[in-house]
Chain A
Amino acid sequence: GENVEQHPSTLSVQEGDSAVIKCTYSDSASNYFPWYKQELGKRPQLIIDIRSNVGEKKDQRIAVTLNKTAKHFSLHITETQPEDSAVYFCAAEGAGSYQLTFGKGTKLSVIP
């Protein structure tokens, strides 16, 4: 089955700096890669996603890049703000499987 590795597990940045979180996946047939933000005690919330026919997608301060050849994808947050502090999860969905396989998460702390 699919295996998703996520790095780093913790990340501290100064407010205004950029943050980058990287994930690799094992199933070359995977074709959908969402990123979720989860605040303490809250539900995971989708912040951005990318499909295998696209290499990069941006939404204001958030961007995701996908390299299908290398089987990795990354989340980029620019101009970080304290409210960006949370745990971020990457995930991959295999072709026709519907289920999401998640990484172990990255705890992002933005220091004011």
Chain B
Amino acid sequence: GAGVSQSPRYKVAKRGQDVALRCDPISGHVSLFWYQQALGQGPEFLTYFQNEAQLDKSGLPSDRFFAERPEGSVSTLKIQRTQQEDSAVYLCASSLGPLAGPSDTQYFGPGTRLTVL
């Protein structure tokens, strides 16, 4: 079946602009995660949703970062007043969720490469 998809794949923003990144998880997946991957580094956790509920946002680096999943499916990560240090690949992942048992597989999307000039 279709995997996790993300759009846009590439985004260039001028410093100070707002951006919105979209994630379409695998159909039926309850859990959705956002990660930030800086060049040459491993992904770092940003936030976690279970259906529409944002259960963990401890990884969001500042209050300029905001994520939502209003209907428990598609999710949007919004970054306000972008800064150069926000340049990274933003990865979305989804999994079946807690009803599937502990520690089920997270499937990643291709990511959105954000470049802030």
Contacts and interface: CB of A to CB of B under 8 A. Distances in A.
Do chains A and B stick together as partners? yes
Interface of A: 4, 6, 31-32, 34, 36, 42-46, 49, 51, 89, 91, 93, 97-105
Nearest to B106: A100
Contacts of A42: 110
Interface of B: 4, 31, 33, 35, 40-45, 48, 55-56, 59, 91, 98, 102-103, 105-111
A33 to B, nearest CB: 9
A89 B110 contact: no
Contacts, number: 59
A98 B48 contact: yes
Contacts of B42: 4, 6, 89, 91, 102-105
A83 B42 CA distance: 21
5 contacts: A89-B42, A98-B33, A100-B106, A102-B44, A105-B41
A9 to B, nearest CB: 9
Contacts of A34: 105-106
